Structure 1
Amino acid sequence: MFNSLPKNLTSALLLAGVLTGCSMAPTYVRPTAPVAGTFPAGEFATTQSEADAVALGWRQFFPDQRLQTLIAAALVNNRDLRTAALNIEAASAQYDITAADALPNVNGGFSRTRARSAASQLIPGQAPVGTSYAVGLNMTAFELDFFGRVRSLKDAALASYLSTEQARLSVQITLVSQVAQAYLAERSFAEQQEIAQQTLDSRLQDYKLAKMRFDVGASSALDLRVSETLVQSARVSFATLARQKGQASNALTLLVGTPITDLPAPQTLASQQIVTDIPAGLPSDLLIRRPDIRAAEQQLRAANANIGAARAAFFPRISLTAGIGNASSSLGDLFAAGSRTWSFIPQLTLPIFEGGRNRANLTLSEVRKNIAVANYEKTIQTAFSEVADALVARGALAEQLDAQQAFLMAQQERVKLTDLRFKNGIASSTDMLVAQRDLFSAQQALVQTRQLRLNNAIDLYRSLGGGLNETTQAPIATPVQNKTVN
């Protein structure tokens, strides 16, 4: 059938196959990072050597096996991460749809037509009702992309796909850090609740002794009421922490996406086996490490490509419609000699007057690119600020933790001395009440400070782009299939 394809149609199809068109999109230039070359050296900033947080797998950064189990379950069951993965599939399908416009659409068809002609138009001897059959291949309105409109739209769709892929990686980094911090919150409330329980048990014993002393007239009603006040205060604290621990546990289950049982025994917040401390690299490394920065840059590339499509709209659009096949008034003669048909319809569309639509679309594309530049720069500044804040807080929290531990030891010694003075009749019951309350507050504050220090390490790990890899040898990467950046 195709051996007799008309020469002009053959030439047009060959031209369409090799012609990709020039791109009218502006040459992409990555904007200069609007941040300093190094992180600010605050009063407590550290000066450790550079380390690659991305290469440090989350199992190595979080050696706590209980936490590892929770993170692994969250990466499988968390609905936000699952939605982000589905968004990648949707963006990939949208890219494939756009890329298909660069290729001709060829359809096969068969038709049977039965029609009646007007009597005035009939040739003598011709029947008024006739039947015709047709079969063939048709190519409909295939655009020859001389000015790169289709190519620019394809590049924009590819950049949007890559941006969605990086967004999923950013969601994963955030999820890993959120699970870890929710786990620390639950552990912090659990440890504080345990302290409150121990304090309540101790104060109940003290209250029993105070009650016995009061019953035999060895102490006053004031001393008894002071002891009772301490008991009720501990009960309030215990109930409050039980509620907070339960809510923190529910929040952790929501992040994980499914209830987890038979977990390994938890580590205490004082343990060195929960997180691994890491030094920080330079701000320029964030351009490679952070998926959110990569996503913002791909969005900028998409906006840049859309300018090319808007520019191409000012130029003529050339499209081809062609077909080849057979036609006959009899189904049996459909493939007989002389039944061959073909058509070739080139079409040129030249914009003459469109009420400023094309100019407005170009202006809109340029404004959207400027918005994308601003978003890209803001993303870099945000990343820089997060790392800088984490570095400054790391040194300060280390100093704060040392001070808090020393403060607790001083409070414990104070309670011992006050208790001794109270038993010897030198200190009042009020002095004992204040000392015990301060000790309980110091114990709670130490647990909270440990949690803050661990959260800070997690913040630094996340802000440097850590949380994608499970091990340093096997980084997780989402394949881009056969899509490439032009």
Structure 2
Amino acid sequence: MPALGVVMLALTGCMLAPNVKAPKSVTPTHYRGADSSNASVWPSPTWWRNFSSPELDTLVHEARRNNYDIAAAAARIAQADAQIRVSGAALFPTLSAQGSATHSYRGAGSNSKSYNIPNGQGGSINVGSSGATTSNDYQAELSASYELDFWGKNRSALASAKQSALANRYDAATVALTVESNVATTYFTIVMLKERLHIAQQNLGIARDLLKALQAQLQVGIGTALDVAQQKTQVATQLAAIPPIREQLQQNINALAVLLGVAPADLDLKITDPSKIAVPSIKAGLPSTLLTRRPDIAQARAQLAAARYDVSNAKAALFPTFDLTAQGGWQNAALHSLFNPLNEFYSLAGNITQPLFEGGQLRGQLAVSRGRYDELLANYQGDVLSAFEDVDNALTAIRQTTEQEKRQRQAVKLAQRALDISRARLKQGITDVTTVLNTEQTLFNARDSLAQAREARLKAAVSLYQALGGGWDETQARQSKGYTDMPSL
């Protein structure tokens, strides 16, 4: 029994501790200015539906099906899964079969030989012999080899591959969330640019109407050429404001087409009325749960775990390797009797290899692995801090853009009232056209600023959803197909 225990220990081996630093906890207790009344509430995985835009919902689903970044991320998952099989193969014996048939021929000249035959009188007679010879040889062989993973080198490589595969799954979730967010923000930009274009065209119409009125007054002698010239300048200014908006609109439509995986010319886009798009109320949740809700943080953590196993693998390479080999089969000159038990052969061998001098390569590789781990550790802890920063920034943007939109809406009402009064006073002849021009421009600027404030508020909501991980849940990801649980850091 003690001997059996030694054998089992040799077969199972151990995994060397990498002796590396563990990540530090930097989780804050709360977000700055966040409402904690519903801290347990978390966004839905289909968070974009909270904007109440069926068109946006359709676009996001189309992007999830056709986006090339998402397709590339899926291909990386397939590669990582294949690497698991490659790394895991070292834990199993390798088996191979070989068969050979050899026919040999030797000519008469090459077979000339002489023999000394005793003559019975204390001497010998030299007798020569010659003649062609042929021979056959048949062999069937099985061979096996196995490396005892005593120091856990191969198991460390497998564990690293599994963590890398997991990191690729988290990367795919990060890419999907980024694409969803980009579709939403690009669509909202298009919607509000369309609204700004409509506002610019409306203001152009107002400016043209006023120009006609001033030209009519000039014809009847109650207006001035200066008033008409000033209003023509205003019309030209309004016209000049339209092309840049159209340019931005088309550029964003093209960008959306790329996100959807289609050519810009093939995109048939329906634009939602901005007034029908809702700005959802979003709860930030507890900071302590954020690290399990962001796929990019989970990806960084999995990459760090993979690097940890790489250190163990490099450390194990410094120790001896133990190999077992076995070979057996049949060999005979006649094929029909090849598998006769009398023709069997086999051999067993054990081998131990200890690196003695390799110019510092192995220790250099260990240093590289440790350096890589330290790099990923710093990246991980920086990513964690950035994640909390993202949420705080998004919360601040939500508050400020909400206030901005409220104030700007009031400014539009006041500007519209001022324009109505100035136009009425112009008709009565108690104010000049300059006043009307100024109030007209003020209203145009106020309405355009309101559209931009609305866009900023919508984008801030998208940013908060993205900062919170978009409803992604690591617990659910761990239960998904292809996930392999590994020891924590």
Q: Normalising TM by the smaller chain, what interval?
A: 0.7 to 0.9
- Residue 359 of structure 1 pairs with residue 363 of structure 2: yes
Unaligned runs of 5+ in 1: 1-10, 470-474
Contact 1:172 1:467 in 2 (8 A): no
Unaligned runs of 5+ in 2: 116-128
- Residue 147 of structure 1 pairs with residue 151 of structure 2: yes
Letter in 2 for 1:74: A
Residue number among 227, 236, 246 corresponding to 1:232 in the alignment: 236
Please name the residue that 1:378 is paired with.
382
Contact 1:20 1:151 in 2 (8 A): no
Contact 2:279 2:461 in 1 (8 A): yes
- Residue 268 of structure 1 pairs with residue 292 of structure 2: no
- Residue 100 of structure 1 pairs with residue 92 of structure 2: no
Q: Residues 128, 374 of structure 1: CA spacing in aligned structure 2 closer, same or farther, 3 A cutoff?
A: farther
SS in 2 for 1:302: helix
Contact 2:104 2:134 in 1 (8 A): yes
- Residue 393 of structure 1 pairs with residue 385 of structure 2: no
1:421-436 equivalence runs, <5 A: 421-436=425-440
Contact 2:87 2:157 in 1 (8 A): yes
Contact 1:64 1:275 in 2 (8 A): no
Contact 1:214 1:221 in 2 (8 A): yes
1:154-165 equivalence runs, <5 A: 154-165=158-169
1:142-291 equivalence runs, <5 A: 142-258=146-262, 266-271=271-276, 273-291=277-295
**Greater RCO, 1 or 2 (C-alpha within 8 Å, sep 6+):** 1
Distance 1:251 1:184 in 2: 12
Q: Deviations over 1:23-45 (max 9, x none)?
A: 0133788523334222223xxx5
Please name the residue that 1:53 is paired with.
42
From the CA coordinates, give the structure whose radius of gyration is larger.
2
**Deviation >4 Å, runs of 4+:** 14-18, 27-30, 45-48, 115-129, 259-263, 475-478
Q: Deviations over 1:415-437 (max 9, x none)?
A: 12222333333332222212111
Please name the residue that 2:482 is paired with.
481
> What's the offset of the Cα at 1:287?
1.2
SS in 2 for 1:143: strand
Q: Residues 275, 432 of structure 1: CA spacing in aligned structure 2 closer, same or farther, 3 A cutoff?
A: closer
Contact 1:49 1:279 in 2 (8 A): yes
> What TM-score does the superposition give when structure 1 sets the normalisation length?
0.88
> What TM-score does the superposition give when structure 2 sets the normalisation length?
0.87
Letter in 2 for 1:365: S
Letter in 1 for 2:331: A
> What's the offset of the Cα at 1:300?
0.6
Distance 1:187 1:308 in 2: 54
Contact 2:153 2:313 in 1 (8 A): yes
Distance 2:114 2:75 in 1: 62
Distance 2:430 2:204 in 1: 25
Q: Deviations over 1:98-130 (max 9, x none)?
A: 111111111222112345688599999997543
Contact 1:404 1:446 in 2 (8 A): yes
> What's the offset of the Cα at 1:217?
2.8
Q: Residues 83, 482 of structure 1: CA spacing in aligned structure 2 closer, same or farther, 3 A cutoff?
A: closer
Equivalent residues, number: 464
Residue number among 15, 21, 25 corresponding to 1:23 in the alignment: 15
Q: Residues 119, 301 of structure 1: CA spacing in aligned structure 2 closer, same or farther, 3 A cutoff?
A: farther
Q: Deviations over 1:377-399 (max 9, x none)?
A: 11111111000101122112211
Contact 2:477 2:483 in 1 (8 A): no
Please name the residue that 1:112 is paired with.
101
Distance 2:453 2:483 in 1: 49
> What's the offset of the Cα at 1:155?
0.8
